[in-house]
Structure formats: structure tokens, C-alpha cells
Chain A
């Protein structure tokens, strides 16, 4: 059946190429602002701000206490500066910590959502309509700080799956939230996690009951809209014994001259035999060609393989943000548990990324795999920072890490900071790293075959990132491929 194989391969290929062609010359197209009235907290951060947020969300007392505890800790903490990043000091008093699109009443159904908001999501290519059924993706959309709508909720509920905004979860499933919130990322884990705990306004909550395989991809789109607003979302995913869920996260922001702060926390919990696959396409506004504006992205993402034979897999395609500080990690507590990290990080112009992972092997026969592909262009700096820790009881732990860097031009930088701590003699940790440059020979070869330089770069870059892209769900892979081409637009030649 050779011919069938060829044909199906070509059809997939075809799609990718058309997309590249269309998008190679695109600018950041998500940089629009939606004109919606917003309900905001006053600028600045103090206990009153936190009480304001908590009151707005009609939170129970325990939640307010939890936030205030985090805030008081945060006041005692210092902003970390160990990463390979340079940026002007952030004025935490010059940020609006809560901004909600004004709606008269809480929408009862999708039809009641503000038409302006719906237009925003349409521009982003996210249909909140149930027509989305065909693609089988359930969407939770967060604009500025508040979750707007969650599709397919009823359908998922039939199987006992909870997929809703964090605010709703606090109201309707307090027992689950109290059990798991900050169980993976403690409120005092780090400066930005503490800030998030104090002021987070919304996010997504997912619970997959025992033995349930979530029948569709769950997806959240985050968008910052209002000016001077920080976005602090908090996501919690719990996969109970023997369950499976694949979760997608996407994000965009308008183009603004000043920097905006984004500090999210994501926690994943996988019980015995459960599997969580978490994919991100991060496309926050990266700033302009001179390095003005853009999002400061300080994110704490961590999962725990709590049960035996559980698995957590992070896949990320990072093309946006002026500053990226992000290390999706896995604590491999259960025996035979598996952690994976697949990453493509692209930096162009004056973008800076310091990203990687931590694999903490605590259980026996735990395995982890890290594949990181960094692509730097322009004047950007791209760092991989990763820790592989094998604890003293982690007999039979295995890790394989591969960190590859691709450079476009000679004014950018690629850096690799691998940290390895092995406390059990049976541990096997392998690390491979390569750095390559797109060569003039490669470009000329493509040119000679009629392929222009921009397309050639897109082909080479997508080839370089292929191993990671293969781990993205199909609809996301296509989008990610587009993004790679867009973010490297104009970087060669």
C-alpha cells in the first residue's frame, strides 16, 4: 500500500506549505483592541486591592484568607534575577490588577455574550459557538481577567468531567479546589507565584473523574485587552485514577508601547495511571522591531505525577512575549511515572527567553524526556535552563535531554544551562546539545530550486522544530507552524 502512504503524507505536507506561503509576510495580526466597557480595580497593589478582587468574585472567606496570606509573603520576597534576562524594573503599583469586561448580568447561555466580545473571539479564530463541535475542542475563553464562556460544559458533565472557570469552581466545587489549589505550586513557591496567588482573577479548572478518557481537547484562550492591565490566571487540572485529558492553551494581546505583565500559575495533578497532556502555543505580543512594548511573561507551570504509572507531558511553542521566564516542570513522585517536555522557543528582534524545565525524579523507575529547540534571530537572546534531579530513593530513574539551538544571523545569542543532580547511583541521565546556524549553503540550495529566502528559512526552521511539533494536536500544529513563519519574518536577507 505504498501509494496510499505517499498520498496521505503529501496532503498533510500540502496544508503546511500553503500556510507558510500565506503567512510568511504577515505582521502580528492579533494586535487589535476591542472596545468594551471594563470594570476595573484602581491601579496599584495593597490589601484593599485583594479584598476588592475577592469581593468582586464573591469569594468565600477561606479564599480571601488564602490570597492575603500569599500577599503578605510576597511583600517579604524579592523579584528573582538569576535568569539570563535584562529588563527595566517593574513598577507593581502602576498595574491594574483586575479588569473585567462589563456585562449587565452573568450570561446564562452563549447567546447572551456581548457581541463585541464575540467579535473579538471570532477575530482570534475562536468560535464560541457549538459549531466548534466538528473540531471537537471545548473552549474556555479568558479576556483580561475574567472567564467569559465555557463551551460544551453540559456534554462534558454527562461523563462527570468538570471544565469551568476557576471562579465557578471556587463557588461550585470548593472541596476539590481546596484540596488541590497550591498543592503543586505553593503560594510562596516563588515571587511571581505568590503575586499570582494574591491577585489571580480567573483561569480554568478541570477535573477528570476516575477511568474517564476526556472525549475532546479542552482549550483555553487568554487575551489581555485593557491597557495597563496585568493578567494573572490560574489553571488547575486534576486527572483522577486511570483518566486522560489533553489540554490546549493559547494566548494573544494587543500591540501597546508599554510593557504588560502576565504572571500565570498552572498546576497539574495526575493520579495512578492517569495522563495529562498540556500544550501551549504562546503568542503574546512580543514588542515591536525596536524592542518597545511587549508582554513580560513570568509563568510557573508544574505538574505532579502523584500516582504510580502516571504521565504528564508538556508541549510548548513559544513565539511571543518580550520576556519569557517559564519552566514547566514535572515532579515524578509515583513509581514508574513519566514526565515529558517538548519545547520550541523562538526569539526575534529584541525578545528574550529563559525557558526550560525541571524533572524531579522521586519515585522508582521514573522516566523523563526533554526535547528543547531554541531558535534565535535578530538581536534576541534565547536560553534553555533545565534541571534534572534524581532523588536518593529514585532507583532506576532515566532521563534523556536534547537541547538544540538554531541561530539566524550573528547578532543573536543561544545559551544552554543544564543542571544535573543525581543522588541515586542507579540513575542514568543523558544530555545532548547542538548549536547550528542556517547556512548560506542551505539558503542557496533552496534558492536554486526556485524557493525564495523567506520560504527557505521557514522550511529549515520547521524541519528543525519538527520533533516537537509532532507532539502538538493537529489543529494546534498548523497554527504553530504559521506562528514560526510569522515570528521569523524579515529575519534573514
Chain B
């Protein structure tokens, strides 16, 4: 589904990603872990197409297409979804209205008819129960005055509504208490199918107790320095990132 080859990316002339290689197949859950400043969020943003980052080398292929040819909104249309670490606020725009626009813009991109109010409502009701989100939240301005947990739940709700092929969850657990993590993780698990994939980007192992990854990768200084199964996450939790750093320094 997703194939990243030797990806290098800069921001303001500073190289953040220095040769990433990553393959994700349909049905898989991958976790990217790493210390602060290792390039985790940059990787998410580059896949989603954020223009502040300059890709200097390498390629990203998604469903057989070169992603570099696509704008961020086209990538969304192709089925890439990014759950933001810090979801933004739009005063005066209801969450429902925003999601409806998103759903129909993506349908338009795919050459599908827009959903009418009744269909949309039906789908919304169905997905609301999945992430345990309250109707009153959806009629409020997008993310305005939402608590940290509400914002993240809203992200997962949008993911449920947009049904992406690849969902990238950027630090979805940050700032959440354990109950909120459980709710969010449950939502993500219910949305998993054999046709879609999830890329979890996280600093801590705790989210991986609830969303079990098939593969864990450790990102350090812009490179994936170690890959393994979920046991690698436990090892990291136990030993801290220092042992990875030490290993890398030794190897170099």
C-alpha cells in the first residue's frame, strides 16, 4: 500500500528526514516510535503533503501512485488520513458542517455523487457510537473549546466518517488520560479491516497496549534504526531510548 524509499526532507534548510525506508501493506498496523526531535511528526506531515517541508530525495508510493504528484487534498482523496497531534480550531464552522464538506469533497474527487442530508445523517449516527462521541460536540464550532480528549475523539470520528485506506495517527495519545486513550483505541480497532492500514506515531509504549501493532520501528535522527514486533516497544519502555542511541553511536 505505502512504500517509502530513501526519503529525505528539509524544513528551512535543515535536514530532518535522512533516508527513510518503510513498507506498509493492507491490513497492517505499524508503530513509529522515537525520542523527541527524531522526525516522527515530520514523517507524518511529509506523507500528508505539508508544503513547509521540502522533499530533497527519495520517493513515496501509495497504491502504486507517486504521491509527490499529488496535493494534500488529492492525497486525502486517494485515501490518506492524518489525525493531528494538535487539531486546529475554526470558530463559527460547525464540526458537522466541516465533516460534511470533507466527505463530499472526497466523494467529488472520486467521481461519486455527494451524500444528501439523510444519508449523511445516517452514516454519522452509525459512526458516532463507534467513537463514543456526543451529538452536542458535533454541533459546536470545530474544535473550539474542546478538551484534549474531545479533540482526539473528534479526529477519530472524522477518520471513521472518511474511511481512509491509510490512517496516520500522530501522537494521538498525547495529553490523554487512560480512559480517553482506551476510548480512542477502541474506535481505531473497530475501524480496522483487511483493506486498510494504520501508522501509529507515538513517543510512549502505552497506546500500543490498546492498539496492537504488527511492526514497531524506531526513528532516530531522521532514520529508522531498528524494526521489530511489539516486543521491541516493551524493550524501549523498559530501557528507554538511550540504549537505541548507544547502539546507533556504536554502529557509526
Contact = CB atoms under 8 A, between A and B. Distances in A.
A115 interface: no
Contacts of B48: 448
A449 B102 contact: yes
A103 to B, nearest CB: 46
Given A10-B100, A447-B72, A449-B98, A2 B135 contact: yes
Interface size classification for chain B: 35 or more
Given A6-B121, A6-B135, A7-B117, A13 B96 contact: yes
A463 B51 CA distance: 25
Which label, helix, strand, loop or mixed, suits the secondary structure of the B interface?
Answer: helix
B94 to A, nearest CB: 7
A10 B96 contact: yes
A66 B100 CA distance: 58
A358 B53 CA distance: 48
A463 B117 contact: no
Interface in B92-134: 92-94, 96-102, 104-106, 109, 116-118, 120-121, 124-125
A460 interface: yes
A136 B139 CA distance: 30
Contacts of B141: 463
Nearest to B125: A3
A4 B72 CA distance: 35
A13 B88 contact: no
Interface stretch (A51-59, A68-76, A198-206, A437-445): A437-445
B101 A455 contact: yes
A451 B73 contact: yes
A448 B99 CA distance: 12
B96 A6 contact: yes
Contact of B88 (A442, A450, A451, A462): A442
Contacts of B87: 445
Contacts, number: 110
Nearest to A404: B91
Nearest to B77: A450
Contact of B90 (A10, A442, A450): A442
Contacts of A463: 90-93, 141-142
Contacts of A441: 88
A466 B97 CA distance: 13
Contacts of B84: 445, 448
Given A3-B121, A6-B124, A17-B101, A448 B76 contact: yes
A446 B87 CA distance: 11
B196 interface: no
Given A10-B120, A447-B72, A447-B76, A452 B50 contact: no
A464 interface: yes
Interface string B57-79: 00000000000000111011100
Contact of A13 (B49, B90, B94, B102): B94
B104 A465 contact: no
A13 B100 contact: yes
B181 interface: no
A10 B81 CA distance: 24
Interface in A1-23: 2-3, 5-7, 9-11, 13-14, 16-17
A170 B131 CA distance: 67
A7 B116 CA distance: 10
Given A14-B117, A445-B87, A449-B158, A464 B92 contact: yes
Contacts of B81: 448
B162 interface: yes
A467 interface: yes
Interface in B179-196: none
A449 B93 CA distance: 15
B158 to A, nearest CB: 7
A65 B220 CA distance: 87
Contacts of A446: 98, 102
A113 interface: no
Contacts of A7: 117-118, 121
12 contacts: A7-B118, A7-B121, A13-B96, A445-B88, A447-B71, A447-B76, A448-B73, A448-B82, A449-B102, A452-B73, A459-B97, A466-B93
Given A7-B121, A449-B98, A451-B102, 9 more contacts: A6-B121, A13-B100, A14-B116, A14-B117, A444-B50, A448-B48, A450-B109, A450-B162, A459-B90
Interface of B: 48-52, 71-73, 75-77, 81-82, 84, 87-88, 90-94, 96-102, 104-106, 109, 116-118, 120-121, 124-125, 135, 139, 141-142, 158, 162
Sort A-B residue pairs by CB-CB distance and give the 10 closest, nearest first.
Answer: A463-B92, A463-B93, A450-B76, A449-B102, A447-B72, A466-B92, A450-B106, A10-B117, A450-B105, A445-B88
